[in-house]
Amino acid sequence: MAQGTQASRARAGEITPEMRVVAADEGHDPEQIRREVAAGTICIPANVHHTSLHACGIGRSLRTKVNANIGNSKVGSSLEGELEKLRVSVQYGADAVMDLSTGADLDVIRAAIIRESRLPVGTVPVYAVAAKIGDFARVTADDLLAELRHQAAQGVDFFTIHAGLLHEHVALVQSRLTGIVSRGGSLLARWMMEHDAENPFYEHFDEVLAICAEHDVALSLGDGLRPGSLHDANDAAQFAELKTLGSLVGRCRAADVQVFIEGPGHVPLHLIEENVRLQQEWCDGAPFYVLGPLVTDIGAGYDHVTSAIGGAVAAMHGVAMLCYVTPKEHLGLPDAHDVREGITVHRLAAHAADIARGIKGARDRDDAMSRARFRFDWETQFELALDGDRARQYYRQSGSSDLQGARDHCTMCGEDFCAMKISQGLCSLPE
């Protein structure tokens, strides 16, 4: 068992091995990482039972992270299918994964993902409770707490808990176009209405914190009232819950439990900055983690793109982690190919935001790519590309498979009209 949580050890002046890993990965001084973990502006989800973990830091002073959602449902998927999604997530640059399984073999799948994953693993424990009990109206606070204990002992690094959705907030969704679109939020809202009682996660929050502190599980305070349409963005329901989440941040820190805040959702471009500003103000600088946000509601089949557009803007304004969306969002359960597409476009969005924020070294790879392009160094371009396999595939489809005798002109313009080839007669080649 741990000698305390990352937060308690940071506040005691200790630089943990996980903090050193984050510092090395980010090019920061370990003491800076320790200070920010102590202050709660960096979170390092690192359950003491997750022995295969390579620690990852989440915070606005670090490079923007990308989370990939995987998991099965009653519609389909299998253990091997979920492990393949995990492998793709690692290969294409995800920084964390969430197992959102709601189908069969939940414990088996979750245990396998934790065992195989070097990335932090998160869950929404209420899903497992709903799957096990069936009629969610029969769920008790003891059922929820028991599931937290079980998953914490398995090695889950962070829990999404919708503790800020209160009984009084449910009435605020009546004027929405899309109601409550969070699965966990909708289950809890229905439970509160049927029992005429307060949210059990809110009522028993101290017990939640005790479980998390024992195993060093971070809390991702979920946005059960996130907007599911542009019409509903920045409404009274969303912001009422956000204010409640802000009040819970202090309780987490007092219990030495790391915390970050989940955000929307569907938000038009011009309202994203306000979302980030209010979260930082109301939640005392806790890291912000957003789903998208999707900036239009008509992107079915392309919602990974609408999400990445919003994600780039959100991260530019200080969001610490983006939750990817795949092309199947709103349409179906993603497979490994969809996972690849979702991660890649959100990794690009995160990288673009890091450049805009002036993150140390963020543009180095871009400058190296530009030098390789000007030199027609195709192999180096494939190595530097975020998805080099895709870049190589498209290059070969253009008519050349011989990289040793690679073209000395770009594949779009052709030899006679290649601007870079013409420019080489005017400019010296970059070092």
Domain boundaries, the chain: 45-357, 364-424
- In the block, which residue shows the tokens 């449902």? 73
Question: What confidence tier does 431 reach under pLDDT thresholds 50, 70, 90?
Answer: low
Is this structure's pTM higher than 0.85?
Answer: yes
What are 376-407's pLDDT values in tens digits? 888 999 999 999 999 999 888 876 555 444 56
Q: How far is CA 414 from CA 46, 95, 399, 421, 426, in A?
A: 52, 39, 11, 10, 19
Helical (H) or strand (E) element with 20: helix 17-26
Q: What is the mean pLDDT of the chain?
A: 93
What are 288-322's pLDDT values in tens digits? 999 999 999 999 999 999 999 999 999 999 999 99
What are 168-224's pLDDT values in tens digits? 999 999 999 999 999 999 999 999 999 999 999 999 999 999 999 999 999 999 999
With contact defined as beta carbons under 8 Å apart, do 276 and 318 qualify? yes
Amino acid at 430: P
Per-residue pLDDT, 405: 46
Q: What mean pLDDT comes out for the span 107-136?
A: 96
Residue 280: HSE in the Cβ half-sphere, 13 Å Cα cutoff: 15
Over 50: is that where the pLDDT of 1 sits?
A: no
Looking at the domain that runs over 45-357, which CATH code has it been given? 3.20.20.540
